[in-house]
Chains A and B, each alone.
Chain A
Amino acid sequence: MQAKRDIRQDLFRLLVLFAFCACSFGFVSLADQVMVNCVLATVNEKPVTLFDLKVIRAFDLISEAQEGIYDQREKYLEVYVDQLLVRELVREQLKVTEVEIAQELKKIKERLGEQVFHSKLLQLGLREGDLKIYLEGKILFDKVIGSRFTQKSYVSLQEIEEYYQNEYVPQQQANGQKPAELLHVLVELEENLQKIKRRKEIREWMQELRQRADIIVNSDCLKKIEQQEEK
């Protein structure tokens, strides 16, 4: 008899405990109405959503992404908007083939690894084919930038010297390192300068495109996401 009573007591306690757990999870769920998507910007009347940025970030689809670009949502939103503008500009003239898309996908899989790639797809509710539109934008952007802005801009010796004095030497000193002689770092500095020039030309061109475009950024949406993330 006592044993039966004990079992019944245990079962009852178990039930209460289970109910409590279930309710706790449920209670948490009730309180958390989460914003899962919003329109961050419109570019020539085409919406850019929070989900688009999630995909861009998850698969690193920003061309020539600089370090730390994904640290701030506004930064990679701006770059993604640039990509969209270029895509709209050349859409009629340039086409992206299935082969190019497949190659780009392959590169991403190699970079992330198959498992990570598929788990990211699963997390976002995507199939491989759904990435096509994002890849198309990146490939078109790369094509246009590649053909319009040559890798090697001309850099004069004077510019290298100035860069050496004004940037390289202070940077090395700030890092507690002894700056190497100019002759030893000439090639490296020239390459850096070429990259900087190229980026500047791209930025100037993008600014021109932006001026002609109708871009509206929804700062409300950005604020709400940040507030949600802080919670």
Chain B
Amino acid sequence: MRKKRLLPLPVFLLLITAVVYASGITVKIKKISLVVDGQPGEPELLSIIGLKPGDDFSDFKVDQALKRLLSTGLYASGEVYWTPDPQAELIFILAKNLFIGNLDISAPKEIKKRINSEILTLKKGNIFHEGSKEKIIQELTRILEEEGYYARDIEFKVEKMSGTDLVNISIKIPDLKRMRLRKIIFSGVSAEKELQLKDKLGLKVGDFYLPQKVEKGLAKIKKSYQELDFKWAEVKAQIENYDPEQGLVDLLIKVVPGIRIKIDIKGADLSPKILERVWEQKVFEEWALSEGEAIILKHLRRKGYLFASVRPHLNRTEEELQAVYEVTTGPRLKIKPIVFKGNLTFRESELKKNLGIPSKFLFLPYLDGQELYELIEKIKFFYETRGFPQTKVVLNFIRQDSAVKPVYYIEEGPRLLIKSLEIQGAELLNPAELMNEIETRPGQPYFRPELQKDLERINLFYLNHGFRGMQFNLETTVDKNNNVDVVIRIDEGRRYRVENIFITGNRLTSRRLIQREIKLKPGDWASYQKLLETRRGLDNLGVFSEVKIEEVPASEQTLNLSIQLKEGEQNFAGLGLGIETREELRSVVLWENLFSPRVTAEYIRYNIFRNASQLSFVGQFSLAEKRLVVNWQQPYIFGLKMRTYLSGYVEKEDRTSFSYERRGFVASTRRGLPANFSLLLSLGTLKTRLTNLKISESQVERERLPYSIAFGSVTLIKDNRDDSFNPQKGYFFSLAFERAYPLFQTESNFRKLFGKFQYFYPLTTSVNFYATIRLGTAWGLVPIPERFFGGGSNSFRGTGFERLGPEDPESGLPLGGKNIFLINMETKFLLLKRLPNLYGAVFYDVGNVFAEPGDFNFLKLQQAVGLGLRYRTPLGPVRFDIGWNLNPPDGRWRPLFFLSIGNMF
């Protein structure tokens, strides 16, 4: 009986076990392991995955963990294995990314060029996936076909470099041949036309299929149709019946002439060519008509036909479409200074200044007719920005014989002013701090785009404090008195700290150097500003072609930073050719002046010793000077972030009064300081030997030849210009102090102080004013090559090069001096609106060079005035100046001509 009572018990226990096993009651993870390329992974990776022993196992959480690992950019693939109870172990098996180390492509130049620009995954330093091989081969085959090549096979070899995460890729195309044309077929043209077109195509049967030549031929064919007014002609080519065995292909050219389009402008002496660009594309005809009308009106108004009108219409036949523009030009009128009426809030001068309206002055460009009409919208926009959303502007003309006075009638409308400004929803940050970030204040005019800018400022403030996912809304209510209440509602999102920082892609560059540039560390708030500084610092090292920083959420309050780097090329070589002159121009005929050739060659090796150091060799050669410089540069010195330069050089230069040979060594370093200042420190030693002395020996310290100097110098610089090549606004300041001391058996013993201040100010939109003051003084034994010299296109335009100041009584050549004072002033103005890069200039230079500091005398300053032309280029202006010395030594006023490239200012 007892046995029977016990029997149900095991069954019951079995059932319980089965139920427990099958019920899916959440299982706890007991252990998590990471395996990377067959080896145990680094322990800090476990902090990325967001799972820990004791957590519940969930497919979703495992998936998130895997994706977090992959988003570090370190891994190419991953698998996750689960060993159920009793182990309850989760294993992440990861394979590291492989990077392309060396890339060797054996192919013609044009193929390599296209591979470089089109197959972006195939670049040194890029991540390489085995799975991308097939796609790369497909792309390569396409490029070969498009370039007119064919190949039976493409050899694509990938070799992993042992002990590294690099692969060498070699692509060979052993049997590469050009395709030939078997047939050229034209469709859509008559037989006789076909002959003409074949001629224009420039290819015949049997020729190599060269896609570029085909493109040129198609363009010629299209142009010939367009010249016959078939403006919408379509000419396309495609290859057919490609025979890879024989390397033959048929070329099919499809021609669709379309309708003939004639443009007719009546009533004005205007060429239809001005409207060609409107009609050369297949466009909606009504649009082309109104676009053409607008172009003609603009053209006429610019020339002074202010009351011109145009009536466009289309005439259509089966074969032709005629676009007719009937023009009534009206009289051509001169434009008098404009007048504003109804401007109650702003004075006329204020309006003109803010709208960039120049004052009418002599021959200088003033507004043209088209600009008068465009000014209407500009005035409305100006008022809108000042809180007037409903301003109306009407342009009327008061006729005065052959001139008109433009009058703008302004109806300002109501003005919206901000009554109150409130920030709501800011809980983690102080609203008062946020208020300091924005520029809008109660009492100011209401202009929504300005408030949008304030939202961007607040957004940046939050980002810099580690917040992400914020949202901002602007709510405005206007009362009957046109006062606006503004509320900025903030949803603060989440605030994140940095948990871990991962760096990938640095093969050569040392990790330590990279870490120095990272402005964040684990535990810091994820400041966006510091992320930007990190990126800037890494970019400025000059060794990376790409710097990518990604944020990977690790938990609800932390994120990981993944810094992915791509190292650039290590070698650079350059060659420059040019001409130079130091003499003032003798003739306006360029080739009658004294120019000599100049060659510059350089080679730079980057990232030496893996610490972003670089070594460069620069050679400059011309008839007047020869120079060879070896330069070593590194971003840090003794752990301080100060870019340091060590230069050794050998040079030879012919100056006006002497020539010299010099050898020197200089160590310098530059450091950025607050408020846009920078400090340059230099130490060096030079040995100079004078040769070809053209002045009397008494004027040089003969017994000191050759000169040798050991010096140290400090330069303080502040550069506040808007553009270093073509500055329009701002200023530049530098102050340099140099001390040459008799060290290491050198003879020099002098001090030099030199200051320079430059100021740039735009008087109007087309007139700029520049001024420079230079003051330099020296004490002690100053050898002639170290003295101050002045004169020429870059210092004083009343004398030749280096001719300002004391002269040798015997030879009359310049001696230089220990004191220099120069002021240069120039006003530059636009000459013609049609040539926006050509400017005229008037200048005034005053100054002198004095033998000794005590010789300085305001009454002995020389003066020069002159005119010039400037042509603006991206590298600075080309300058042509004519100067007259107002105090000529011989009493004769004669002009001096100067031609130079680059700014004087």
Inter-chain contact B62/A17, CB cutoff 8 Å: no
Residues of chain B lying within 8 A (CB to CB) of residue A63: none
For A9, give the chain B residue with the smallest CB separation.
B3
Does residue B13 face the partner (Cβ distance < 8 Å to A)? yes
Q: 8 Å CB contacts to A: which residues of B691-738?
A: none
Inter-chain contact B66/A3, CB cutoff 8 Å: no
Inter-chain contact B79/A125, CB cutoff 8 Å: no
Q: Please, how many angstroms separate the alpha-carbon atoms of A47 and B68 in the complex?
A: 10
Residues of chain A lying within 8 A (CB to CB) of residue B81: 33-36
A37-B62, A125-B61 given; A10·B6 CB < 8 A: yes
Q: Can you list, as one digit per residue, whether each of A30-61 has a CB less than 8 Å from chain B (1) or not (0)?
A: 10111111110010000101011010000000
Does residue B14 face the partner (Cβ distance < 8 Å to A)? yes
Q: Can you list, as one digit per residue, whether each of B127-166 has a CB less than 8 Å from chain A (1) or not (0)?
A: 0010110010000000000000000000000000000000
Inter-chain contact B87/A214, CB cutoff 8 Å: no
A25-B21, A34-B82, A47-B67 given; A216·B59 CB < 8 A: no
Q: Can you list, as one digit per residue, whether each of A59-91 has a CB less than 8 Å from chain B (1) or not (0)?
A: 000000000000000000000000000000000
Does residue B63 face the partner (Cβ distance < 8 Å to A)? yes
Does residue B2 face the partner (Cβ distance < 8 Å to A)? yes
Smallest beta-carbon distance A52→chain B, Å:
7
Determine which of A6, A26, A33 lies in contact with B3 in the assembled complex, contact meaning CB atoms within 8 Å: A6
Q: How many residues of A contact B (CB 8 A)?
A: 44
Does residue A29 face the partner (Cβ distance < 8 Å to B)? yes
Q: Please, how many angstroms separate the alpha-carbon atoms of A22 and B21 in the complex?
A: 10
For A29, give the chain B residue with the smallest CB separation.
B84
Residues of chain B lying within 8 A (CB to CB) of residue A125: 56-61
A34-B82, A47-B67 given; A214·B62 CB < 8 A: no
Inter-chain contact A219/B3, CB cutoff 8 Å: no
Q: Can you list, as one digit per residue, whether each of A4-18 has a CB less than 8 Å from chain B (1) or not (0)?
A: 001100110110011
For A47, give the chain B residue with the smallest CB separation.
B70
Does residue A217 face the partner (Cβ distance < 8 Å to B)? yes
Does residue B385 face the partner (Cβ distance < 8 Å to A)? no
Residues of chain A lying within 8 A (CB to CB) of residue B9: 14
Does residue B600 face the partner (Cβ distance < 8 Å to A)? no
For B78, give the chain A residue with the smallest CB separation.
A39
Inter-chain contact A217/B79, CB cutoff 8 Å: no
Does residue B77 face the partner (Cβ distance < 8 Å to A)? yes
For B26, give the chain A residue with the smallest CB separation.
A125
Inter-chain contact A29/B10, CB cutoff 8 Å: no
Inter-chain contact B86/A36, CB cutoff 8 Å: no
Inter-chain contact B67/A25, CB cutoff 8 Å: no
Smallest beta-carbon distance B59→chain A, Å:
5
Smallest beta-carbon distance B34→chain A, Å:
14
Q: Please, how many angstroms separate the alpha-carbon atoms of A33 and B121 in the complex?
A: 36
Interface centre among B14, B70, B91 (most CB of A within 10 A): B70
Inter-chain contact A25/B60, CB cutoff 8 Å: no
Inter-chain contact B60/A38, CB cutoff 8 Å: no
Inter-chain contact A38/B63, CB cutoff 8 Å: no
Smallest beta-carbon distance B514→chain A, Å:
22
For A52, give the chain B residue with the smallest CB separation.
B63
Smallest beta-carbon distance A53→chain B, Å:
11
Does residue B245 face the partner (Cβ distance < 8 Å to A)? no
Smallest beta-carbon distance B734→chain A, Å:
45
Q: Please, how many angstroms separate the alpha-carbon atoms of A33 and B58 in the complex?
A: 16
Q: Please, how many angstroms separate the alpha-carbon atoms of A144 and B85 in the complex?
A: 47
Inter-chain contact A37/B80, CB cutoff 8 Å: yes
Inter-chain contact B13/A14, CB cutoff 8 Å: yes
Inter-chain contact B10/A224, CB cutoff 8 Å: no
A7-B2, A14-B6, A224-B79 given; A32·B60 CB < 8 A: no
Does residue A124 face the partner (Cβ distance < 8 Å to B)? yes
Residues of chain B lying within 8 A (CB to CB) of residue A220: 77
Q: How many residues of B contact A (CB 8 A)?
A: 38
Q: Please, how many angstroms separate the alpha-carbon atoms of A10 and B4 in the complex?
A: 10
Q: Can you list, as one digit per residue, whether each of B40-84 has a CB less than 8 Å from chain A (1) or not (0)?
A: 000000000000000011111111001100100000011111111
Q: Can you list, as one digit per residue, whether each of A163-188 has a CB less than 8 Å from chain B (1) or not (0)?
A: 00000000000000000000000000
Q: Please, how many angstroms separate the alpha-carbon atoms of A9 and B550 in the complex?
A: 67
Residues of chain A lying within 8 A (CB to CB) of residue B61: 125
Inter-chain contact A51/B86, CB cutoff 8 Å: no
Inter-chain contact B59/A36, CB cutoff 8 Å: yes
Inter-chain contact A49/B85, CB cutoff 8 Å: no
Residues of chain A lying within 8 A (CB to CB) of residue B58: 124-125
Residues of chain B lying within 8 A (CB to CB) of residue A10: 2-3, 6
Interface centre among A11, A49, A122 (most CB of B within 10 A): A49
Does residue A21 face the partner (Cβ distance < 8 Å to B)? yes
Inter-chain contact A36/B13, CB cutoff 8 Å: no
Residues of chain B lying within 8 A (CB to CB) of residue A224: 79
Q: Please, how many angstroms separate the alpha-carbon atoms of A137 and B129 in the complex?
A: 26
Smallest beta-carbon distance B16→chain A, Å:
10
Determine which of B6, B67, B83, B129 lies in contact with A29 in the assembled complex, contact meaning CB atoms within 8 Å: B83
Inter-chain contact B63/A49, CB cutoff 8 Å: yes
For B132, give the chain A residue with the smallest CB separation.
A216
Q: Please, how many angstroms separate the alpha-carbon atoms of A21 and B3 in the complex?
A: 21
Does residue B545 face the partner (Cβ distance < 8 Å to A)? no
Does residue B17 face the partner (Cβ distance < 8 Å to A)? yes
Inter-chain contact B6/A21, CB cutoff 8 Å: no
For B90, give the chain A residue with the smallest CB separation.
A36
Determine which of A6, A14, A49 lies in contact with B66 in the assembled complex, contact meaning CB atoms within 8 Å: A49
Q: Can you list, as one digit per residue, whether each of A134-165 has a CB less than 8 Å from chain B (1) or not (0)?
A: 00000000000000000000000000000000
Residues of chain B lying within 8 A (CB to CB) of residue A18: 10, 13-14, 17
Smallest beta-carbon distance A122→chain B, Å:
8
Inter-chain contact A17/B10, CB cutoff 8 Å: yes
Inter-chain contact B84/A219, CB cutoff 8 Å: no
Smallest beta-carbon distance A171→chain B, Å:
34
Smallest beta-carbon distance B131→chain A, Å:
4
Inter-chain contact A26/B86, CB cutoff 8 Å: yes
Determine which of B13, B57, B59, B79 lies in contact with A38 in the assembled complex, contact meaning CB atoms within 8 Å: B79
Residues of chain B lying within 8 A (CB to CB) of residue A207: none
Inter-chain contact B6/A217, CB cutoff 8 Å: no
A54-B59, A216-B132 given; A33·B2 CB < 8 A: no
Inter-chain contact A214/B121, CB cutoff 8 Å: yes
Q: Please, how many angstroms separate the alpha-carbon atoms of A227 and B470 in the complex?
A: 46
Does residue A108 face the partner (Cβ distance < 8 Å to B)? no
Residues of chain B lying within 8 A (CB to CB) of residue A36: 59, 62, 80-82
Q: Please, how many angstroms separate the alpha-carbon atoms of A22 and B14 in the complex?
A: 9
Q: Please, how many angstroms separate the alpha-carbon atoms of A39 and B98 in the complex?
A: 16
Smallest beta-carbon distance A28→chain B, Å:
9
Q: Please, how many angstroms separate the alpha-carbon atoms of A14 and B13 in the complex?
A: 9
For A28, give the chain B residue with the smallest CB separation.
B84
For A40, give the chain B residue with the smallest CB separation.
B77
A14-B13, A18-B13, A216-B129 given; A35·B2 CB < 8 A: no
Smallest beta-carbon distance A26→chain B, Å:
6
Smallest beta-carbon distance A149→chain B, Å:
23
Does residue A126 face the partner (Cβ distance < 8 Å to B)? yes
Q: Please, how many angstroms separate the alpha-carbon atoms of A125 and B61 in the complex?
A: 7
Smallest beta-carbon distance A69→chain B, Å:
22
Q: Please, how many angstroms separate the alpha-carbon atoms of A39 and B81 in the complex?
A: 12
Does residue A208 face the partner (Cβ distance < 8 Å to B)? no
A6-B2, A51-B63 given; A35·B132 CB < 8 A: no
Inter-chain contact B14/A21, CB cutoff 8 Å: yes
Known: A123-B24, A123-B59, A216-B131. 14 other contacts (CB 8 A): A7-B6, A10-B3, A10-B6, A14-B10, A17-B10, A29-B84, A32-B84, A37-B59, A39-B70, A39-B78, A47-B66, A54-B59, A214-B132, A217-B131
The 8 lowest CB-CB distance pairs between A and B, nearest first, are A125-B58, A51-B63, A216-B131, A125-B60, A37-B80, A38-B79, A29-B84, A10-B6
Binding site for B on A (CB under 8 A): 3, 6-7, 10-11, 13-14, 17-18, 21-22, 25-26, 29-30, 32-39, 42, 47, 49, 51-52, 54, 122-126, 130, 214-221, 224
Binding site for A on B (CB under 8 A): 2-3, 6, 9-10, 13-14, 17, 21, 24, 56-63, 66-67, 70, 77-87, 91, 121, 129, 131-132, 135
Some 7 contacts from A to B, beta carbons below 8 A apart, are A17-B14, A21-B17, A30-B83, A30-B87, A37-B80, A38-B79, A221-B77
